[in-house]
Amino acid sequence: MKSPQAACYNPAARMIGLAWVVLVIGTLLGVVSLTADLVGVGAFKGFGWKQALGTVVALGLVIASGWRIFLGSRRDRR
């Protein structure tokens, strides 16, 4: 007879890993970059080069970490 603890054991990888942390950081960076003028932290009116750079970096982080999470979930299903 199995013990209750053994029945609840999940051998799958942890849900929170480096890829998830990078995904959240990239999303936050993108939100801050895109809304900098609205909250008053933009250097000048309009979409500046710092906002563009932050948006591009954020997009790269989100795409890279999302792809890594996607591939990791496919590997766990096999």
Interhelix angle 49-77/18-34, rounded to 10 degrees, is 150
Which range marks the domain in which residue 64 is found? 47-78
Q: What is the pLDDT of residues 21-72, one digit of tens each?
A: 999 999 999 999 999 888 877 777 788 888 999 999 999 999 999 999 898 8
pTM above 0.75, yes or no: no
For residues 26 and 34, give the distance between their C-alpha atoms in angstroms, rounded to a whole number.
12
**Residue 61 is assigned to a structural domain of this protein:** yes
Number of domains in the chain: 1
**Residue 76 is assigned to a structural domain of this protein:** yes
Burial of 68 (0-12, 13-18, 19+ CB in 10 A): middle
| Distances in whole angstroms, Cα of residue 77 to Cα of each of 14, 37, 43 | 14, 44, 47
**Residue 35 is assigned to a structural domain of this protein:** no
**Residue 51 is assigned to a structural domain of this protein:** yes
